Chain A
Amino acid sequence: MSTQKHIPVIKFHKDKYGDELLIDVVTLDMIRASKDFAKALRQSFYGVMLTTGGEGDVEVDGEPCTATKGLVAFARPGDVGTVTNDRNLTALELIFERDFILSFFNDPHFLDGLSYFSTSRPSPYVMLNEALYNRIIGLYVEIQLEVANARDRHLLRAMLYETLMLLQKASPVSGRKRESSETRVARFCELVNEYFLTETGVEFYAERLCITPNYLNRIVRQTLGQSTKGYIQSRRIEEARQLLRYTSLPVSDIADRLGFDTPTYFGRAFAQATGTTPLQFRSCPEK
Chain B
Amino acid sequence: MKKILVITAVACLMMACGGNKNQKEMNNISNKEKAVALLKAIETGDNASIAYVNAESYKQHNLTVADGLDGFGAALAGLADFPEKARVNTVRAFEDGDYVVCQTDYNFYGPKAGFDIFRFEDGKIIEHWDNLMVYNGEKNPSGHTPFDGTTEVKDLDKTEANKALVRNFVQDVLMGQHPENLTNYFDGNTYIQHNTAIADGLDGLGAALAAMAEQGIKMEYFTIHKILGCGNFVLAVSEGRFADQPTSYYDLFRVENGKIAEHWDVMETIAPESDWKHQNGKFNF
Flag whether B78 is at the interface (Cβ < 8 A): no
Contacts A92-B203, A92-B207, A137-B201; A145 near B213 (Cβ below 8 A): no
Closest Cβ–Cβ distance, residue B106 to chain A (whole Å) = 31
Flag whether A284 is at the interface (Cβ < 8 A): no
Contacts of B182 in A (CB 8 A): 138, 141-142, 145
Report how far A144 CA is from B180 CA in the complex, Å. Answer: 10
Closest Cβ–Cβ distance, residue B78 to chain A (whole Å) = 40
Flag whether A53 is at the interface (Cβ < 8 A): yes
A window 92-149: CB within 8 A of B: 92, 130-131, 133-135, 137-142, 144-149
Contact A150 B189 (CB under 8 A): no
Central interface residue in A24, A30, A133, A138, by most chain B CB within 10 Å? A138
Contacts A135-B183, A138-B186, A144-B213; A149 near B176 (Cβ below 8 A): yes
Report how far A148 CA is from B212 CA in the complex, Å. Answer: 10
Contacts of B183 in A (CB 8 A): 134-135, 138-139, 142
Contact A30 B210 (CB under 8 A): yes
- Chain A, interface size category, equals 20 to 34
Report how far A131 CA is from B203 CA in the complex, Å. Answer: 14
Flag whether B211 is at the interface (Cβ < 8 A): yes
Flag whether B14 is at the interface (Cβ < 8 A): no
Contacts A27-B207, A92-B206, A142-B180; A147 near B186 (Cβ below 8 A): no
Q: Contact check: which of A17, A141, A155, A159 meets B209 at CB < 8 Å? A: A141
Q: Contact check: which of B189, B207, B210, B214 meets A134 at CB < 8 Å? A: B189
Flag whether A25 is at the interface (Cβ < 8 A): yes
Contacts of B179 in A (CB 8 A): 142, 145-146, 149
Flag whether B77 is at the interface (Cβ < 8 A): no
Contacts of B218 in A (CB 8 A): 148
Report how far A52 CA is from B209 CA in the complex, Å. Answer: 14
Report how far A139 CA is from B203 CA in the complex, Å. Answer: 10
**Chain B 169-213 interface 0/1 with A at a Cβ cutoff of 8 Å (1 = within):** 000010010011011001011000000000001110111011101
Closest A residue, CB atoms, query B186: A138
Report how far A138 CA is from B209 CA in the complex, Å. Answer: 13
Contacts A27-B210, A137-B202, A141-B209; A155 near B176 (Cβ below 8 A): no
**Chain B 246-258 interface 0/1 with A at a Cβ cutoff of 8 Å (1 = within):** 0000000000000
Report how far A42 CA is from B202 CA in the complex, Å. Answer: 28
**6 more A-B contacts (CB under 8 A) besides A25-B209, A141-B182, A142-B182?**
A90-B203, A92-B207, A133-B189, A137-B201, A144-B213, A148-B213
B interface vs A, CB < 8 Å? 173, 176, 179-180, 182-183, 186, 188-189, 201-203, 205-207, 209-211, 213-214, 218-219
A interface vs B, CB < 8 Å? 16-17, 24-27, 30, 50, 52-53, 90, 92, 130-131, 133-135, 137-142, 144-150, 155, 159
5 sample A-B contacts, Cβ–Cβ < 8 Å, listed by A number:
A17-B213, A139-B183, A141-B205, A148-B209, A149-B176
